Structure formats: C-alpha cells, structure tokens
Structure 1
Amino acid sequence: MINETIKKAIQTNSEELTDIRRKLHSEPELSWEETETTAFVCKYLDSLSISYYKTQPTGVIATIEGGKPGKTVALRADMDALSVEELNKELPYTSKFEGKMHACGHDAHTAMLLIAAKALNEVKDDIPGNVRLIFQPAEEVAQGAKEMVKQGAMKGVDHVFGIHIWSQMPTHKVSCQPGPSFASADLFKVTFKGRGGHGAIPHACIDAAIVASSFVMNVQSVVSRTIDPQSPAVLTVGKMVVGTRFNVIAENAVIEGTVRCFDQSTRDHVETQLKHYAEQVASIYGATAQVEYIRGTQAVNNDEESAKLVQKVATAAFGEDVLYPEKPTMGGEDFSEYMNEAPGSFALVGSGNPEKDTEWAHHHGKFNIDEEALATGAELYAQFAWAYLNQ
C-alpha cells in the first residue's frame, strides 16, 4: 500500500516544504486576490514539467498523467488568507502585509500539495491512472470550490481527497471519520423596521432596538426547543446594527448571523423557523421584518470506504497510533462542492504543540502551525493517491 519512493521523496524535500510554507505565509493574499500565489504554483509546476492551466481569476488545475491506464483521483489544497492582523511579530516569516494573514493554514496546504506532487511525479511511470491537483482560491468566502468545479476541476475525476491542518489536534495525528466532518454554513440577515422619533416620546414610536433585542433573546429557542437534541445545530448572531443617535429612537435594526448543522432536514427547519420568529416578533411590536437567508457551504460527509482507506494509508505510513478520534466540527468547508461530483473524504492533520505555542484557534492572530506536521500532510496526500489508484 505504501510507496517507499514517495516516503523518501517527502523526507528528502522536507526542508524545501518548510521553506515554501514560510514564503507563502509571509506573503498572504485574500480570497480572489491570490495572483502571486497562483504564479508561484505555476512556476513550481513548470519546474516539474507537470501540465496545468490557470483558472479565472486565480487558481490552478494540474494533472500528473500516470504511465498506466486507470482512474483519476483529485487532491485539493486551498490558497487564500484572511483579513486578520498577525500577532506573531517575532516570527522570521510573519506576514509582510498589514491586516492580512494565513490564520487558517492554507499556506501549509498549498506547500504540502506541491511537495506531494513532486513526490508523485517521481513515480508517475508506475501510476495506474492520473492525479488531479487542485489549487483552489477563495475557500474563506465559500466561493472557490464551486467556481473550480465550473472550470473543470472535477472533469473525469473518480475520487477526491482533501486535507486541513488542525491546531486542535496533536502534531502528526490524523483524523478521518466516516460520516459528518464539517457542518453546513449559512448566512442570514434580518432587517426590522419600526418608527423612529424623539427619545423622550417613546409612546409615539416603534423602537427597532427593542424589536431586535427581543428577536436575539428568543431566536435561540429555535435550536433549544424545536430541534431534536441528537441533531446538532448552532445559530449565532454575530452582528447587530441599530440606531443613529443617543436620543433618537431607532427606526431600523439589522442583524446578521450564521447557522451550522449537519443534515438537510435540520437546515431547512432552522431557515423556516428563523423567518417565522422574525415575523412574529416584529408583529408583536407593530414593526415589520425582512429576512434574507443565504445557503453557504454544504456539510462535508466523508464516504465510508474513502475514510477507511485514509485510515489504512495513515496507519501504514505513520504507525498504528497515528489515528485520532476528532469529533465533527461546526466549522464550514466548501470541499463539499467536490464531493457533489465524486465520492471522497476530508482528513485533518494535527499541528497543535503546546511547546511551540501552536494550539491557537484557527482565524486567531496568533495562529501558527508546528511545521513538523507538514511532512505528515504531504505524505498523506501522495500516499492516498497512490493507494487509491493501486486498489
């Protein structure tokens, strides 16, 4: 199952792997702005003579053509950074750009897939089939995967595999459980309209601040009292804008938030109930409500056979104790778009190490990874592709 040439190639190129990750970390680019990252990926693929084409406006789709006939397996890495100010100022590879940071590990994903491609390219004559390499932009805005599919990323693909570095797991550990992995991630916006007026004459007004506050306090009962407790869901109000001046009763209030869950029926139910609560709360006070509900990423559900193959590959490559029973997360991931086109799985590779201060939450300004995890991720990419095609 494990290809020793691939293993040696990853080990041999581990220093280069770290260098690539550090370069990408120091030069973060936001969603749909990954121009220099795209150019770097293309230049690296050119050095390996791997064929590719650039997607628009950013991103790369490449293919390693094996020397024998067979299926096609896709490997995906995302490339975009976040609008987060990096707080790791002491690092020699800290972000060069104020307000931009690789605070989620996408720099590591891109570096790992490039080195995995280099290792697979060394054994391409023995590969029965093809390996599709997807370097995806705009994961953080949940748009990139859908666009990559439109531009041919999954054309002819039989199976798809992805990895996410995970600071909540110990370094080197691998988790890939069958079933739910990442939740669906939806956005909602509720606009309440009352009747403004002087703060000293409340009886002549309909206070949108009161309406919005009542909604925020009551809408949590959608989850706590209308959903089966064994079907987890999260409803979070993250933003509330109301009023214009200290002595003016607000006429308008705008609330924004997110909904996370794992199954479609729960997702549909929350959307329906959220609209119902907004309308009924507004009605109590004589106000009106307008609800905008945007379906974001779908839940990532790992195919059982694929997840079990990841586990077999991981234990064969790194030992029996490498597997980690990480629970599903309410975080969102647009990797689900690829799994609409072909079966596959999405694995987590641990990078948390308290001695190196790499256990900070993803999207935090202090986020960083234990770089010893890079080789684990790169080899898992390559060995999974080899094992799948050689089944």
Structure 2
Amino acid sequence: MTLEKDLIQIRRHLHQFPELSQEEFETTKFIASQLLKSGIKVRPTILETGVFADIEGTHPGPTIAIRADIDALPIQEQTNLPYRSRIPGKMHACGHDFHTAAVLGAAYLLKAEQAELRGKIRLIFQPAEEYGAGAQKVLRDGQLKDVDAIIGLHNKPDLPVGTVGIKSGPLMAAVDRFKVVIKGKGAHAALPQNGHDPITASAQLITALQTIVSRSISPLESAVVSVTRIEGGNTWNVLPETVTIEGTIRTFDPEVRTQVKERFYALTEQITGAFSSKAAIDWFEGPPPLMNHAAVAEAAWVAAEQYGLKVIEPELSTAGEDFAYYLQHIPGVFAFFGTNGDEDWHHPSFTVDETALIEAAYFLYHSAKELLLQQTAITKIKWVNRV
C-alpha cells in the first residue's frame, strides 16, 4: 500500500470506533500499536489515555513536538459513509481522526529519515481536547519539558484542499462558560404581586448581557456573549422559584476577557437585584486565546510554500482549542488545513475530503524539518519554558 492509502485506512478505522474525552482507551492502544510497528519509541506516561513518542535523530538539535487530538464527540452520526461510526451516539464530528492519521503519517516520514535528523521529534497524541483539560494533563505529565517548539493543525471545512491558513498572533478564542441560577419567589400566575418572578428577571438579564459587546467593549475589539440554554417553570399557571440560564463567552484579548467577566457579574447582580431576586453564578474558565508565535509560524509558512501548498492568513475563529495552553509555555504554531467539507465542526453530517490527508502529513513533516534546521529561529525567541 502507498502511504496515502495507509493513512486513509487508519483514519477510517478511527472514524468507526470513536471514543469520548478521557475514554480513549482503544484509540490509545491502536495508536501505540501503529507506532511500535514502525519502530517508533513510545514514551512512558501516567495518563490513562493518550500516546507520546520520540523519534531521535543521530545529530544534536532542538526537540520539536507535533500534536494531534484523539477524542470524539457525543453526537449521533448522520452520514451514509460506509465507514461511519459503529458506536451509537458517538462520532468524530470534529475531525480528530483526520488529525491523528496525519500526525502518524508525518511520524512515518520522519522515522524514515531518522539518521539524518538534527534533533528530536516528540509526538503528542493528546486525549480530551473536547473536554478542555487534555492539554493541561499533558503538561502536568511532563511531556513538553524538553520541547523547544510545537506544531499542530486543525482541519478547516471552509478551506479548499491544498490551502493552509497560518498566522502569527491570535487565531482562536478564549472559551469561558457560565451558569446562572436566578432565585425569586414562586406564586400563582394570577397573583404575580405575591411573588418575585425570576422569568421576567432572566428575560431582562439575557437582553442586557448583549450590551456587554455593544456598549462595554471597544468597537475595535471583539467578543461573543451567547446565552444557549434557559430553563424555568413546569406548568402554565405558576411563577417558578428559579430560572437557570447557561451560555458561553469568547474573547481574543486577556484584558477584554477580564473586562467581559467583570461586566457580566455586575449586570447579573444588579438586574436580578432590581427584580428582588438573587443570582448564583458559576463561572467555568476554559482555554485562553490561542496565540501563535511569529518565528514558528514563519517556519511553517516557508515549509508549506516549499511543499507547494497555498498559504493564506486565515480569519480569526471564535471556536476554542486547548492547544493554547501549550503556547503559554513554549513557542509554537497552530494551522488551519483545508478539507473542503460540506458541514462545519460538530455537525452530525461532518465530513472531510480524504485527499487532504496525505498533504496534511507532509505539511507537518516539512514544518518539523524546517524547525529542526532553523535552530537560530527557536533560540531567538525570548521565552521562558514554564512547564
């Protein structure tokens, strides 16, 4: 078989047997077996899922990590693919099967040139990206302690095959989640004066929260505040005691992130108080903004063009990605790779164009080699490794 056919076969196997965050046990075994068959040394880990491996060259040089995420989503697949998910209610609807196969492809290519490599390649097959905690577990496990730079990619359905999006600076948003329980006082719907209606309070709050973006954030900055769930009451003629709202906030700048949170708390407390209700806020801080480093992004850009890919500067994405945690510790780049799909991430009919798979593998391979060669580009980055 050719490498392209091998990678397609690997990706289809993974697609048929998706596993959710922190449950990637069979996926872990499969990846490890593929590496060991190729003679690639698997590293020890205390994590239950995820695979880490090294390809060490015979010449001294930096250590460059290549990362893939391996988990799936709790989504029922709605494609007619012959290799669609065999696990009810679980699906690789974000293309992590594509990422895993692409990194395996890059690993095979780099292994074949191991004797010529100047430095070391660290392979990171990360669990629990969708859960938002996988990258932090990898960091705590020490898998990036001696790494000088890291590369990752994500399939991009709205980009054509053969196109890669690379930029320095912000690429993806910080992700925060909120849950607010508004407690009022229940009453008969015909006698609202006897209660404190949390539904009215929640309606006013939801409307007011939209003013955070329109009136509290500079027009030159960006943020998203989305209320995605509201629950309250259980019948038509009773004012309930409580209403719960949940949602998400996305930002690209740490100062804006702080500003939005402060304004959110102020509006929630003041508006619910105005309706004689009380609010209990749970705030769940997710990954920070994903900030690519200029020198590493430039090396990946050069590698992509030399390989023959069309390189563009992509639009910012308000989606989140826990690869951002790595970039708080070491320099790196995260790229968008065109897969020409019909549906976007997390859709039950999500697909990728498999002709992009071999190109993604070669992009990672060439980018890693470029970074191994450009030791000066890495050492010039004034960055303290805080892993």
TM-score, scaled to structure 1: 0.94
Q: State the match for 1:3 in structure 2.
A: none
Shift of 1:340: 1.6
Matching residue of 1:360: 343
The residue number in structure 1 matching 2:175 is 185
Structure 1 contact 182–301 (Cα < 8 Å) conserved: yes
Aligned to 1:344: 332
Shift of 1:54: 4.5
Cα distance in 2, alignment partners of residues 54 and 111 from structure 1: 21
CA contact (8 A) 2:45 2:141 kept: no
SS at match of 1:244: coil
Does the 8 Å contact 1:26/1:93 carry over to 2? yes
Partner of residue 228, structure 1: 218
Q: Deviations over 1:91-140 (max 9, x none)?
A: 11101011110000100000111111111000011111100000001100
In structure 2, the partner of 1:203 is: 193
1:65 alignment counterpart: 56
Cα RMSD after superposing both structures: 1.1
Matched residue SS, 2:157 = strand
Q: Deviations over 1:247-273 (max 9, x none)?
A: 210110111111101010000000000
Q: Is the contact made by 2:118 and 2:373 (CA closer than 8 Å) also made in structure 1? A: yes
Aligned mates of 2:52, 2:134 — CA distance in 1: 12
| 2:158 partner SS | strand
Q: Show CA shifts across 1:127-157 (max 9, x none).
A: 1110000000110011100001111220100
2:138 to 148, 153, 176: 148
Percent sequence identity over aligned pairs: 38
Alignment-derived partner of residue 326 in structure 1 = 314
Stretches of structure 2 lacking an aligned partner (at least 5 in a row):
375-387
Unaligned runs of 5+ in 1: 1-10, 353-357
Q: Cα distance, 1:12 vs. partner?
A: 3.6
For 1:2-58, what per-residue CA distance to the aligned partner results, in whole angstroms no more than 9, with x for missing partners?
A: xxxxxxxxx940000100001101111010010010000111111112111344221
Tell me, what secondary structure is at the counterpart of 1:298? coil
User: 1:244: how far off?
Assistant: 2.3
Which of 28, 35, 58 is equivalent to 1:38?
Answer: 28
Aligned position for 1:123? 113
Residue number among 167, 180, 203 corresponding to 2:157 in the alignment:
167
**1:376 is aligned with what amino acid?**
E
- CA-to-aligned-CA distance 1:253-307 (integer Å, 9 cap, x gap): 1111111010100000000000001001111111111112221001111111111
- Counterpart residue type for residue 366 of structure 1: S
Which of the numbers 61, 65, 69 marks the counterpart of 1:78? 69
Residues 169, 294 of structure 2: 8 Å contact kept = yes
The alpha-carbon deviation at position 246 of structure 1 amounts to 1.8
Distance 1:273 1:214 in 2: 15
- Deviation at 1:325? 2.9
Paired residue total: 373
Which of residues 91, 100, 116 in structure 2 aligns to 1:101?
91
For the residues of structure 1 that align with 2:360 and 2:248, how far apart are their CA atoms?
A: 30
Which residue in the other structure is 1:372 paired with?
355
In 2, are the aligned partners of 1:55 and 1:148 still within 8 Å (CA)? no
List, as ranges, runs of 4+ consecutive aligned residues in structure 1 with deviation greater than 4 Å. none
Equivalent residues in 2 for 1:195-344, closer than 5 Å: 195-319=185-309, 322-344=310-332
Write the letter of the residue equivalent to 2:362.
E
SS at match of 1:323: strand
Question: What's the offset of the Cα at 1:172?
Answer: 1.6
3-state SS of paired residue (1:170): coil
Q: State how far apart, in whole Å, the 1-side matches of 2:152 and 2:313 are.
A: 18
**Given the two structures, how large is their TM-score scaled by the length of structure 2?**
0.95
Post-superposition Cα deviations, 1:65-105, rounded to whole Å, max 9, x if no partner, equal 111111100100000000111110x2111010111100001
Distance across 1 between alignment mates of 2:265 and 2:101: 43
* CA contact 2:226–2:247 (8 Å) conserved in 1: yes
Which residue type is aligned with residue 169 of structure 1?
A: L
CA distance in 1, matches of 2:302, 2:370: 9
Separation in 1 of the partners of 2:277 and 2:205? 12
CA distance in 2, matches of 1:102, 1:79: 9
One-letter amino acid matched to 1:327: E
- Partner SS, residue 249 of structure 2: strand
SS in 1 for 2:115: helix
Given residue 146 of structure 2, which amino acid in structure 1 is its aligned partner? G
SS for the counterpart of 2:159 is strand
